[in-house]
Amino acid sequence: MEFLKEVFWVNIPASVAVICLIGYFFGMAIVFIISPIKNAESFSIKPVDNAGKTEIRVYYGGISFALGAFLLYLTLALGTPVYSLVGGLFFATTVFVTRTIFLCVDKGWKCPYTKLAIPAEGFFVVALWTCFILSKVLY
């Protein structure tokens, strides 16, 4: 337990961001593994058969779990959350930029999910970058 305290006190802004990232990924894993169709439909995704249901569990649930577990492992293995934050920044920024570009290409800006995703992801990316900048300025 003392080791965990040391690791997360090394850089508080990065630790806060990484804890949020890990919580986000583990939360996504749980909801998509437990209830794939209901949650996928809120993302405007609908499987055409049971294999599609499995794919939602695997890619939205399984990969989310793996990302969260990897960020936790990376933080503990390296003794600092900074590198996990950088990985989270790559992921979140890429998703946000790609969504924004293809929202225009695919003309999906009027969809209900998009109206939630763009501001939520935008806020999340800004918060992560803020934590990253603070982690560099303060530590």
User: For the chain, what is the domain count?
Assistant: 1
25, burial (CB in 10 Å: exposed 0-12, middle 13-18, buried 19+): buried
pTM of the model: 0.90
Rounded mean pLDDT of the chain? 94
Banded pLDDT at 44 (limits 50, 70, 90):
confident
Q: How far apart are CA 82 and CA 63, in angstroms?
A: 21
Neighbouring CB atoms inside 10 A of 131's CB total 24
Domain encompassing residue 88? 2-138
Neighbouring CB atoms inside 10 A of 44's CB total 12
Coil vs helix vs strand at 108: coil
Give the model's pLDDT for residue 96.
97
Q: How far apart are CA 128 and CA 17, in angstroms?
A: 6
pLDDT digits (tens, 9 = 90+) for 30-40: 999 999 999 99
CB 45 within 8 A of CB 37: no
